[in-house]
Amino acid sequence: HEPVCECNPCYSGSDCSNFSSHCAANAGDGDPYFLEPFWMRHAASSAVLVSGWHRMGYTYSDGSYISQLLVNHIKKLHEIVGNAVTDGRYIVFGGGSTQLFNAAVYAFSPNNNDSSLNPAKVVATAPHFPVYRTQTELFNSRDYRYEGDTSLWKNNTDNNGTTFIEFVTSPNNPDGKLNKAVLEGPNVKTINDRAYYWPHFTPLPSPADDDLMLFTISKLTGHAGTRFGWAIIKDKGVYEKMLTYLELNTVGISREAQLRALKLLNVVLEGGDTKEIFQFGYSTMRDRWSRLKQIISKSKRFSLQKLSPQYCTFFKRVRDPSPAYAWLKCEREEDKNCYEILKAAGINGHEGSMYSADDRYVRLSLIRSQDDFDILINKLTVLVAKN
Ligand code: PMP
């Protein structure tokens, strides 16, 4: 039967057509509802029904916690999209990529008896996704410690054989830049967060070939609530340590989450036209970015990050930017708290300081529903017209 939809919180009435003009634009969290219309078009083929008797045990028939069928789907998808090398690599699953951050930090840290004397230094470059820091601090381990911005350690990575673990996010959350590692040296390990390295959000210049790459279904199909991510790993020893972590932490990932991921990837891969979700994702995000850019270009008070068209090996042409987030800057000297300025205009974003950056910046999420985006555009249009 027809899906039952809830109204966007800014609308009410039986057909969700009564707009409340007092309602604030939700441009805060990164829930990827922009893909909901795609899944509504594929409602039947993406549906999962699980009988009560199905897969009640801990393991698959090969004794592992990881579905080999799903591993094969993931490898096939990367090969078709051309965004990551998987040949000869190991793959592990996590409860979202969030669980894999710490699994990777643990795997890269020296877990010997002396590590308390010389814990690994975990670093990232601002502006960066906050959870690298908050999660590392939460675990408060003897083996590794969060040590701030990479810029503090550049040219200083050789001392005492300390291990450095650098988080590199490419494209970056919040600014969409294709970042590269900053630190160099024999003791530097990088965790390459590739959550947004899909045609929806960025041109793909070449397949990513890093030692440890993290991906997530949250930003690929939009199913953030499924909590399913994966790591692609070059080194067998690192892979085995991550497997140990996942076994001791959660005994692997929910089999239902793996089943749903399999069903969703089936639609992505076998719907006849593998490009459909990426065409839809890209054109939606490109249109949103171009509308936003047009409005902000009329303003001297606000500016956006600069992103350029670039050749994409997936679409085989030069394509426009289509970032997941706007990294908006308040340009006036007196506008030190950009978040408050936007909030007063009915726009809820995230403060720059959340990303270890200046509060002159605000992150606006562009990946939410069309209603959320349209309300954001309306509020911004009014704000820019006033200034
Ligand atoms: N990495 C980045 C850069 C993200 O922005 C997010 C989610 N906002 C994640 C990882 C976490 O994704 P997951 O839902 O897979 O835990």
Question: Which pLDDT belongs to residue 213?
Answer: 98
Q: Are residues 89 and 230 in the same domain?
A: yes
Residue 332 is part of a domain; what is its CATH number? Answer: 3.90.1150.10
Domain boundary among 200, 235, 270: 270
Report how far ligand 1's centroid is from the alpha carbon of 124 (Å). Answer: 15
Residue 287 placed within a domain: yes
Q: Are residues 224 and 257 in the same domain?
A: yes
Q: Are residues 280 and 249 in the same domain?
A: no
Dist. CA 200–CA 117, nearest whole Å: 44
Report how far ligand 1's centroid is from the alpha carbon of 213 (Å). Answer: 13
User: Which domain range does residue 81 map to?
Assistant: 68-270
Q: Which ligand 1 atom is at minimum distance from the Cα of 324?
A: 5
Q: Are residues 131 and 245 in the same domain?
A: yes
Question: Which pLDDT belongs to residue 11?
Answer: 85
Digits of tens for pLDDT over the chain (387 positions)? 455 667 888 888 888 888 887 889 999 999 999 999 999 999 999 999 999 999 899 999 999 999 999 999 999 999 999 999 999 999 999 999 999 999 999 999 997 666 567 899 999 999 999 999 999 999 999 999 999 999 999 988 776 789 999 999 999 999 999 999 999 999 999 999 999 999 999 999 999 999 999 999 999 999 999 999 999 999 999 999 999 999 999 999 999 999 999 999 999 997 656 689 999 999 999 999 999 999 999 999 999 999 999 999 999 999 999 999 999 999 999 999 999 999 999 999 999 999 999 999 999 999 999 999 999 999 999 999 997
Question: Which pLDDT belongs to residue 214?
Answer: 98
Dist. CA 67–CA 97, nearest whole Å: 17
Does 169 contact ligand 1 (Cβ within 6 A)?
yes
CB-count burial class (<10 Å; 0-12, 13-18, 19+) for 116: exposed
Q: Are residues 208 and 265 in the same domain?
A: yes
Report how far ligand 1's centroid is from the alpha carbon of 56 (Å). Answer: 29
pTM recorded for the entire structure: 0.96
Question: Which pLDDT belongs to residue 149?
Answer: 96
DSSP secondary structure string for all residues of 253-264: S-HHHHHHHHHH
Q: What angle do CA 169, 174, 164 make, to 5 degrees?
A: 35
Q: Could you report the predicted ipTM of this complex, rounded to two decimals?
A: 0.99
Ligand 1: residue whose CA is nearest its atom 7: 30
Ligand 1: residue whose CA is nearest its atom 12: 97
Give the ranges where 82-204 is alpha helix by DSSP (H): 96-108, 131-139
Q: Are residues 161 and 21 in the same domain?
A: no
Q: Which ligand 1 atom is at minimum distance from the Cα of 172?
A: 3
Q: Are residues 284 and 259 in the same domain?
A: no
Report how far ligand 1's centroid is from the alpha carbon of 14 (Å). Answer: 34
Domain boundary among 214, 241, 270: 270
Domain boundary among 238, 270, 302: 270
Question: Which pLDDT belongs to residue 9?
Answer: 80
Q: Are residues 231 and 343 in the same domain?
A: no
Q: Are residues 74 and 154 in the same domain?
A: yes
Report how far ligand 1's centroid is from the alpha carbon of 94 (Å). Answer: 12
Beta bridge partners of 319: 310
Dist. CA 362–CA 358, nearest whole Å: 9
Residue 106 is part of a domain; what is its CATH number? Answer: 3.40.640.10
Crossing angle (nearest 10°) for helices 236-250 and 96-108: 120
Residue 3 placed within a domain: no
Report how far ligand 1's centroid is from the alpha carbon of 125 (Å). Answer: 16
Q: Are residues 240 and 373 in the same domain?
A: no
Q: Are residues 134 and 185 in the same domain?
A: yes
Q: Which ligand 1 atom is at minimum distance from the Cα of 101?
A: 10
Mutate to test the pocket of ligand 1, among 93, 191, 193 (most ligand atoms within 8 A of CB): 193
